[in-house]
Structures are given as C-alpha cells and as structure tokens.
Homo-oligomer: A and B are copies of this chain.
C-alpha cells in the first residue's frame, strides 16, 4: 500500500496545470491523478496524459455534490488549475472537497498579487471561491505566481524571438520602473510540489518568484543578451487607464462575451501591475502572503536571464491558455 499522498489535479491540460503536473511527477513523492471532463477524454492533450500512465478521474463539475464526493474518494490533496472563465464552477467542488475529507484544497489562484476585491475581475471571482472555502473551514493554500517570464519579454528588431511570443510586444508602461513578481511557467509546478508538502503553508497565501524586475530592467537584459536594441513603445498611465475603462465598458454591454472578458483581464493586469503597482513583494507581505523563496531557500528557480537566453537559443515555447 502506497504511503504517498494522493493528489488530484484539475486543469492539467492548461499552461499552469501542465506545469503543476510536471512538477508533481518530478517531485516523485505523490500519487498523481488527473480530473477531466467527459467531453475532454478523447482530446489529444488528455490522451497524452493518459499515455504517460497517469490515471484519469472523469467528471463534470456541474454535477451534484454527492457525485463529486464519490469522484474525490481517496484523494488527499486537490489542486484546481481551472480556466479563468470557469472559476465559479469550483463552488460545488469546494463543498465536495469538504465532505470528502480532502486534507488540503489548492484553489485556482496562480495569478499576480492583487487586491482581494475591486481591482481585477479575475481576482474577484477567485475571492468568491476563497470565501466559500473559509465558510466551510476547508484546509487550503492560495498560491500566486506573479506574471510569467514567458509573457514578459520584448520582441527584437531581428524578429528572432517572435516564435515564442504569445503577443509580440515592446511596450513600456508609464516610466517602466514598477517592479513585478515574475515566475517561469515551468517553475510553478516545482513550487507547488514544495508548498503542498509543507505544513507551514496550510491555510496561508504564498507567492512564488524567479525574479522581481521592472520593464526597464527586462529591456536591459534583453538588449544585453541579444546585442540588439529594443524598439521601445511607450504607453502612458492615462492611456492604460483609458484602455481599461474602454474594455470594462465594452464588457458591461455584453457581459457574456468571452473575448471582451479576456480583454478586461488583460487591461486589468496592466492597470494592476503598472498603474497601481500591486504585484510586488511589499504588497504581498502586507496582504499576509508567505514568500516561497524564504520557505525554500535551497530551491533555485529559473531567472528571467536564463529564460531569455533559452529563447534566443531557439528553445523557447509559445505559451497557450492560462
């Protein structure tokens, strides 16, 4: 009989969930299973997981609590890396996790450090789930990761890093001097594996980071490593605010449109990171977060410099989803 803790992961085919799956397997100290929807079982991305020998549990989330409790049988730790549009679907899952005696629930967080309410729609919906968890006194850990290296680098005049860019970009916001918490996608799962095995993080918020960098510092690193001069674009604070307001107005007229919703997420990220300047260690500390680097001083995350060197060497990978 295995003495390893049994971990069930929801959202394993996403970028964050994929990193978590890799990190859990790499840690080699958990029995890992993956929760997928019936409609996803035949997808190539799910088949790939199956082909790696990882057991699947199949359920929709909009079923009864009782049915979900049965799906969660025998699980110690439940990790949700559900997509940004489906956050509120975790509601019944939280209840079922409590009823099933889950030892720790990791709700879908994995974003920047931001105010609990009123600044980012994405964060507001996560907060609804955190509050439901707290209402049930379910053991939890909230893990935020800042922004990814993979969506924080500028494109170069030569075009040689465009292949790895989700959206080609050379914009500096405001004066470019706002520091931001950054984590390489691939480190998310490694951090998660440490955090879920650590009693100090029960019922706590934790943030991970590989680097804390401003946009100017990122540009300098990119220029230093590439020998190229980045063609910097500038967006003023006022322009960022206007883009945010426009996106929010458009969504309010059509609240169910996923593209408009995504644009609100993006412009709110920019507003939070560069105008409010939330995504920083001092604000994380104020909000009560633990610093994963202080918890695990031996862990060496991938620095932005290391990441961008790989991209320059053709070893980058365009991220998908979030």
Contacts and interface: CB of A to CB of B under 8 A. Distances in A.
Contacts of A287: 134
Query: Do most interface residues of chain A lie in helix, strand or loop, or is the interface mixed?
Result: loop
A101 interface: no
Interface in A66-120: 115-119
A233 interface: no
B132 A118 contact: yes
Nearest to A130: B116
Given A203-B286, A203-B288, A117 B137 contact: no
Contacts of A116: 131, 134-135
Interface string A115-139: 1111100000000100110110100
A257 B132 CA distance: 28
A299 interface: no
A99 to B, nearest CB: 16
Interface residues of A, number: 16
Contact of A283 (B115, B137, B283, B286): B137
Contacts of A118: 131-132, 135
A286 B117 contact: no
Contacts of A288: 203, 288
Contact of A117 (B119, B131, B203, B283): B131
Contact of A135 (B115, B128, B132): B115
Nearest to A117: B131
A107 to B, nearest CB: 14
A59 to B, nearest CB: 25
Nearest to A137: B286
Contacts of A137: 283, 286
A92 to B, nearest CB: 15
A119 B117 CA distance: 18
Contacts of A117: 128, 131, 134-135
A119 B132 CA distance: 10
Interface in A277-301: 283, 286-288
A133 to B, nearest CB: 10
Contacts of A286: 134, 137, 203
Contact of A115 (B119, B128, B131, B203): B131
Given A117-B131, A134-B287, 19 more contacts: A115-B131, A115-B134, A115-B135, A116-B131, A116-B134, A116-B135, A117-B128, A117-B134, A117-B135, A118-B131, A118-B132, A118-B135, A119-B135, A134-B286, A137-B283, A137-B286, A203-B286, A203-B288, A288-B288
7 contacts: A115-B131, A116-B134, A117-B128, A118-B132, A137-B283, A203-B288, A288-B288
CB-based closest 8 A-B pairs: A117-B131, A115-B135, A116-B131, A137-B286, A115-B134, A118-B135, A203-B286, A116-B134
